[in-house]
A and B are shown apart, each in its own frame.
Chain A
Amino acid sequence: MTGALSHMLTPAVVGYAEPWWMAILKSLVIFAIGLQLVPLVLMAERKILGRFQNRYGPNRVGPFGAMTPLADIVKLLTKESFRPRTAIGWLFTLAPILSIIAAVAALAIVPFGNVQDIFGTPVGFYGIDVSIGPLYVFAFGAVAFYGIMLGGWSSGSKYSFLGSMRAAAQLISYEVAQGMALVGVVITAQSMSLTEIVEGQGGMWYVIPQFVGFLIFMIASFAETNRPPFDLVEADGELVGGYMTEYGGGRFALYYFAEYLNVLVVSGLAVTLFLGGWMLPFGIHPPGWVDPFIVIGKMGLFVVFFIWVRATLPRLRYDQLMSFGWKVLLPLATLNALITAIVVVAWY
Chain B
Amino acid sequence: MTWTPGPDQIEVVGGPSKAGGAGGLYRAFGETLRGLKTTFMQATEGVTTVQYPEEKIPVYPRFRGRHRLHTFEDTGLEKCVGCSLCAAACPSDCIRVVAAENTPENRVSAGERYAAVYEINLSRCIFCGYCEIACPFDAITMGHDYEMSDYNRSDLIFTKEMLLAEPLERTPLRAEGE
**Contact across chains for A55 and B49 when beta carbons are under 8 A apart:** yes
User: Which 9 A-B residue pairings sit nearest by Cβ, starting from the closest?
Assistant: A312-B39, A312-B35, A54-B48, A51-B43, A55-B49, A52-B43, A311-B39, A52-B39, A312-B36
Residues of the B chain whose Cβ atoms lie less than 8 Å from the Cβ of A311? 39, 43
B75 → A minimal CB distance (Å)? 50
A:306-331 near B, CB below 8 Å: 308-309, 311-313, 328
22 contacts between A and B (CB under 8 A): A48-B43, A50-B47, A51-B47, A52-B39, A52-B43, A54-B42, A54-B48, A54-B49, A55-B48, A55-B49, A56-B47, A56-B49, A56-B51, A308-B39, A308-B40, A309-B36, A311-B39, A311-B43, A312-B32, A312-B36, A312-B39, A328-B25
Could you say which of B25, B36, B38, B42 contacts A53, with CB atoms under 8 Å apart? B42
- Asked if B104 CB lies within 8 Å of chain A CBs, one says no
- Asked if B6 CB lies within 8 Å of chain A CBs, one says no
- Asked if B45 CB lies within 8 Å of chain A CBs, one says yes
B:24-64 near A, CB below 8 Å: 25, 32, 35-36, 38-40, 42-43, 45-49, 51
Q: Closest residue of chain A to B49, judged by CB?
A: A55
Binding site for B on A (CB under 8 A): 48, 50-56, 308-309, 311-313, 328
B56 → A minimal CB distance (Å)? 17
Residues of the B chain whose Cβ atoms lie less than 8 Å from the Cβ of A50? 47
Q: A312-B36, A313-B35 are in contact. Are A52 and B25 (CB under 8 A)?
A: no
| Among A48, A50, A54, residue most surrounded by chain B Cβ atoms (within 10 Å) | A54
Residues of the A chain whose Cβ atoms lie less than 8 Å from the Cβ of B32? 312-313
Residues of the B chain whose Cβ atoms lie less than 8 Å from the Cβ of A313? 32, 35
Number of interface residues of B (CB under 8 A): 15
In the complex, A54 Cα to B46 Cα: how many Å? 6
In the complex, A308 Cα to B36 Cα: how many Å? 7
**Contact across chains for A54 and B39 when beta carbons are under 8 A apart:** no
Residues of the A chain whose Cβ atoms lie less than 8 Å from the Cβ of B45? 54
**Contact across chains for A312 and B47 when beta carbons are under 8 A apart:** no
In the complex, A212 Cα to B35 Cα: how many Å? 20
Q: Closest residue of chain B to A229, judged by CB?
A: B32
B165 → A minimal CB distance (Å)? 33
Residues of the B chain whose Cβ atoms lie less than 8 Å from the Cβ of A53? 42
B50 → A minimal CB distance (Å)? 10
Q: Closest residue of chain B to A59, judged by CB?
A: B51
In the complex, A52 Cα to B41 Cα: how many Å? 8
Q: Closest residue of chain B to A48, judged by CB?
A: B43
Q: Closest residue of chain A to B32, judged by CB?
A: A313
B87 → A minimal CB distance (Å)? 44
A63 → B minimal CB distance (Å)? 15
In the complex, A54 Cα to B40 Cα: how many Å? 11
| Among A50, A308, A309, A311, residue most surrounded by chain B Cβ atoms (within 10 Å) | A311
Could you say which of B25, B38, B49, B51 contacts A312, with CB atoms under 8 Å apart? B38
Residues of the A chain whose Cβ atoms lie less than 8 Å from the Cβ of B40? 52, 308
In the complex, A56 Cα to B35 Cα: how many Å? 21
| Among B43, B45, B48, residue most surrounded by chain A Cβ atoms (within 10 Å) | B43
In the complex, A212 Cα to B42 Cα: how many Å? 29
| Among A52, A312, A328, residue most surrounded by chain B Cβ atoms (within 10 Å) | A312
Residues of the A chain whose Cβ atoms lie less than 8 Å from the Cβ of B25? 328
Q: Closest residue of chain A to B24, judged by CB?
A: A328
Residues of the B chain whose Cβ atoms lie less than 8 Å from the Cβ of A309? 36
In the complex, A312 Cα to B40 Cα: how many Å? 9
B59 → A minimal CB distance (Å)? 23
Q: A308-B40, A328-B25 are in contact. Are A54 and B47 (CB under 8 A)?
A: yes
Residues of the B chain whose Cβ atoms lie less than 8 Å from the Cβ of A308? 36, 39-40
Residues of the A chain whose Cβ atoms lie less than 8 Å from the Cβ of B42? 52-54
In the complex, A311 Cα to B41 Cα: how many Å? 12
A228 → B minimal CB distance (Å)? 12
Residues of the A chain whose Cβ atoms lie less than 8 Å from the Cβ of B43? 48, 51-52, 311
B55 → A minimal CB distance (Å)? 12
In the complex, A50 Cα to B51 Cα: how many Å? 14
In the complex, A323 Cα to B142 Cα: how many Å? 64
B22 → A minimal CB distance (Å)? 10
In the complex, A312 Cα to B49 Cα: how many Å? 20
In the complex, A176 Cα to B47 Cα: how many Å? 41
In the complex, A50 Cα to B32 Cα: how many Å? 20
A332 → B minimal CB distance (Å)? 8
Q: Closest residue of chain B to A51, judged by CB?
A: B43
B133 → A minimal CB distance (Å)? 40
A251 → B minimal CB distance (Å)? 33
Residues of the B chain whose Cβ atoms lie less than 8 Å from the Cβ of A51? 43, 47
In the complex, A313 Cα to B38 Cα: how many Å? 11
Residues of the A chain whose Cβ atoms lie less than 8 Å from the Cβ of B36? 308-309, 312
In the complex, A55 Cα to B43 Cα: how many Å? 9
A136 → B minimal CB distance (Å)? 31
